[in-house]
Structure 1
Amino acid sequence: MAEYWYNSATHSATGMLPFQALYTRAHPLIPSFIAGSVSSVPLETLLHQKDEILGVLKANQRKAQQHMQAHVDLHRKDKIFAI
């Protein structure tokens, strides 16, 4: 998950995704599973579980980003410059 997060987050110095800088193309998205698109029941169950796990991972990533942002905001100070 950490590697996925690193490769799918914009780098502050380059202004692009590390994946994009390395491979010169956009990061591939994992397509969502469409129920009924597979004829095998075990495969459909596996793909449904994969989608559920991806949903949990995305929610956890959002929660971690919000936590990091809240922590940074605690120590943020507005600077006022006098001329």
Structure 2
Amino acid sequence: MLVAVMVEEMVGVMVMEVVGMMVMEVIRVMVQEVVEEMVNIQEVMVDEVVGTMVEEVVGVIVLEMVEVMVEEVVGIMVMVEEVLG
């Protein structure tokens, strides 16, 4: 009788350990997935930030180019006026 109780107890402990290991594995996988999602989100955010920075830099370059072109056009107009005037 005592042996049967001890065996039952051991089986119960082993089952609990196996279940515990399975639960730990499930939790580990879930945590890993969450971490991967966070990394993906960070990568997307970094892409967005870099994209915005590139857009801003391109915008500044375009503004500079437009400014230079306007100055050149104004300069040409002034020269034409001087020639005609």
TM-score bucket of the superposed structures, by smaller chain: 0.3 to 0.5
TM-score for the superposition, normalised by structure 2: 0.44
**Structure richer in helix, relative to its length:** 2
